[in-house]
Amino acid sequence: MATLERLLELPAADLRQSLNQASELLASALGADKIDIFLFEPSRKTMRALGTSNTPMGRLQRSLGLDIHPVANGGSIAGVFTTGDPHITGHVDQVPGELPGVVHDLGVRSHIAVPLFVDGERRGVVSAQSAAPEFFCDEDLRFLGAVSHWIGAVTHRAELVEQVTSVALAQGRRQVAEELITVLAHDLRNYLSPLLSRLELLHRRAELAGRADDARDLDRASDSVAQLGRLVSDLLDVGRLEQGLFEIVPTSTDVAALAQEIARTLGTHSVDVRVEGPPELRVVGDRARLRQALENLVSNAIKHSPAGKWVLVKLSSELQDGLEYVHVDVIDHGAGVPPEILPRIFDRFVTGGNASGMGLGLYLASRVAAAHGGSLTVNSPPGNGATFRLTLPASGPPDHPEKA
């Protein structure tokens, strides 16, 4: 009972520290030469002793690297974890398949071990060893089994604390980064307008002087600055979303005409943008925001499309529960969204594959869709490209007067 009480008093701030202290308590209670608390690492398929008593045998084990047991190598530790059955022996040197390092390097002769359950899942093994033969009895094994439940609770508590701390640190870093990005975006915007004005002035001078090559180079420079301007606008929109300042002004908008304009603007020599659907398809929405969303979707599709392929913008509409909805499908012929990224594809600063960018386009497109009472979804079978579907209510956002 004294051991259990002291186990419950262990701090939960650090998992390794907690398990090392638990090992010390058990070594003292059992008089063992070494106590190990092994946890299974699925990625490496190994048992790692995160907690080991600070005893001569425990220190020797660490110096020899025997605190890591690959499950494939066998041994009693791996056997207890694999089968879930307790283990007791007073003659380790006579156990078939025992690891040579345990027998010869550490000189272990008596060994008891029980599986370790954490939050109802078998996650490791609690082990006690001694250099003396026939050192442990059945009561020691039952004691170790009882204590293992408390160690599982300590482990679970420490892991929860580490997870909460990790999430809090990540959120803190992200908040600081977003604030810094917003400040930088504001500063950058202040420089872009005069830069564009100067480029336009130089372009006019080049045209008047008949310097066609210079005029073309200035056009390209202006396009690059315009792209930078769109990135700055995206960054500022992220800040507005976080502050609840993101607004839309719905008007009657021809989505088909908007798609044709974007296709002509964003299509390249290597990746063409095609539009299919009715020649006119109107919704009540903020034209500027819908353009922003579609440009981001088409630009993303172009980035992920191989040269010689095309991006398809397919327009359609349907009735659902008596209301008309407009669908805009943006389809590419790339490798598709990596499965590990798919659940987070609409989060901020998430990018997939080898594409460049800050990972804001899809996030903003999804927020524009939500602001209009619509949605943005993705369908991406592995290796078969991706289809992003922007769905909008034709009558506008839920609180728009035309909705009634």
pLDDT tens-digit map of 29-45: 999 999 999 999 998 99
pLDDT at 402 over 50: no
pLDDT of 1 strictly over 90: no
* Residue 404 pLDDT: 32
User: What is the sign of the dihedral through the CA atoms of 224, 227, 232 and 235?
Assistant: negative
pLDDT tens-digit readout, 292-334: 899 989 988 998 888 888 899 999 999 988 889 999 999 998 8
Task: Please give the structure tokens belonging to residue 110.
Answer: 């008596």
- Say what the pTM is: 0.51
Residue 354: band (very low, low, confident or very high) from pLDDT cuts 50, 70, 90: low
Ranking 9-18, 103-112, 191-200 by mean pLDDT, the lowest is: 9-18
Least confident of 71-85, 113-127, 246-260, 340-354: 340-354
| pLDDT at position 352 | 62
Order of all β-strands in the sheet with 121-130:
68-70, 46-52, 34-41, 121-130, 110-118, 87-89
What is the mean predicted confidence (pLDDT) over 106-125? 95
Instruction: Write the DSSP symbol of residue 338.
Output: -
pLDDT tier at 157, thresholds 50, 70, 90? confident
10 or 44: whose pLDDT is higher? 44
Q: Helical H runs in 129-211?
A: 138-208
Please compute the mean of the pLDDT values over residues 342-368 and round it to a whole number. Answer: 76
Mean pLDDT of the chain: 86
- The CA distance from 293 to 295, in Å, is 6
Q: Determine contact, residues 76/69, Cβ cutoff 8 Å.
A: no
Sign of CA dihedral 316, 320, 323, 325: negative
Q: Which of 192, 199, 198 is nearest to 232 (CA)?
A: 192
Locate 292 and state its tokens: 């922003």
HSE, side-chain direction, 13 A CA sphere, residue 260: 10
Residue 42 per-residue DSSP state: T
C-alpha distances out from residue 317 to 133, 175, 222, 257, Å:
80, 40, 37, 15
Average pLDDT of the residues in 133-153: 93
Task: Name which of 56, 55, 18 is nearest 37 in CA terms.
Answer: 18
Q: Who contacts 223 (Cβ-Cβ below 8 Å, separation ≥6)?
A: none
Residue 156 in this model has a pLDDT that exceeds 60: yes
Give the model's pLDDT for residue 339.
85
Q: What are phi and psi of 356, to 5 degrees?
A: -85, 175
Q: What is the dihedral of CA 86, 111, 94, 42, to 10 degrees?
A: 60
Separate counts of helices (H) and strands (E) for the chain = 10, 13
**d(Cα 189, Cα 191) in Å, to the nearest integer?**
5
Ranked by mean pLDDT, which of 28-37, 220-229, 236-245, 265-274 comes out on top?
Answer: 28-37
Q: Does position 3 have pLDDT exceeding 80, yes or no?
A: no
Instruction: Give the distance between the most distant pair of CA atoms in the chain.
Output: 101
